[in-house]
């Protein structure tokens, strides 16, 4: 039994979290994943209603869990999972807003790297700018899975913002640099993985389009974005 667990944010006992964790911002999406993909799912956390379920997928242990919205929230949960519960791999599945005109609603974005306006990396006191990147083996596996399933996907950079309602949005600057989409969590996940020597990946479904204004509904985002889940669970 580790002295640090349960933590202030996760009520699971040590050993109740699998080595591989698949996370979603919405805890109801985690519940959906548990019902759809996880055999013998057991609820192991409901602190703050951030549900976590542990069971098996194709005979392999897996935990699914919510992480909330934004870099600070996912930063807390993934730090505790990596460092206190000894998770080895965390895969985030979420939604994003497309920045390029060739990307459509429902396409998958595999975030090989992420740009950010967050100050999360300041804690490491690095003499420059850290570039948060995904684990290459997970990226390659996700690409292979998309090819097998026949899902439209793009691999590259995303932009991860600290602010959703921005007073002075400079939308085109990141688009001109080839950034594929906007989301709000990947840098903290990738930096926590790098610092703890673990593996991480973000796979997003395009829920809206920054250039065209197209958008999906909240219900669609909660219940129908299953292609990214298929890909994530194929990596276990």
Using a CB cutoff of 8 Å and minimum separation of 24, what contacts does 171-180 make?
171/99, 171/210, 174/99, 174/115, 175/99, 175/100, 175/210, 175/211, 177/115, 178/100, 179/99, 179/115, 180/98, 180/99, 180/100, 180/103, 180/109, 180/154, 180/156
Select which of 88, 162, 208, 230 is catalytic: 208
Half-sphere exposure of 170 (CA within 13 A, CB side): 6
Q: How far apart are CA 164 and CA 161, in angstroms?
A: 7
* Residue 208 among the catalytic residues: yes
Dist. CA 201–CA 232, nearest whole Å:
9
Tokens found for residue 233: 């669970």
Catalytic residue set: 208
């Amino acid at each position: 039994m580790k002295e640090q667990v349960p933590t202030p944010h996760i009520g699971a006992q040590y050993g109740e979290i699998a080595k591989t964790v698949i996370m979603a911002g919405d805890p109801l999406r985690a519940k959906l994943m548990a019902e759809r993909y996880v055999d013998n799912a057991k609820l192991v956390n409901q602190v703050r209603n951030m549900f976590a379920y542990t069971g098996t997928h194709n005979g392999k242990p897996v935990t699914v869990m919510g992480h909330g919205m934004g870099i600070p929230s996912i930063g807390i949960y993934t730090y505790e999972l990596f460092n206190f519960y000894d998770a080895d791999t965390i895969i985030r599945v979420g939604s994003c807003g497309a920045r390029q005109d060739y990307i459509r609603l429902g396409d998958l974005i595999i975030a090989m790297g992420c740009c950010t306006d967050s100050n999360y990396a300041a804690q490491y006191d690095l003499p420059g700018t850290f570039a948060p990147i995904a684990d290459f083996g997970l990226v390659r596996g996700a690409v292979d899975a998309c090819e097998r399933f026949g899902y439209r996907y793009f691999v590259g950079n995303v932009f991860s913002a600290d602010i959703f309602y921005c007073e002075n949005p400079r939308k085109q600057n990141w688009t001109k640099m080839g950034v594929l989409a906007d989301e709000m969590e990947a840098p903290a996940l990738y930096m926590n993985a790098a610092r703890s020597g673990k593996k991480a990946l973000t796979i997003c479904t395009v829920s809206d389009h920054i250039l065209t204004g197209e958008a999906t509904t909240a219900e669609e985002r909660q219940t129908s974005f299953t292609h990214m889940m298929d890909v994530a669970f194929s990596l276990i």
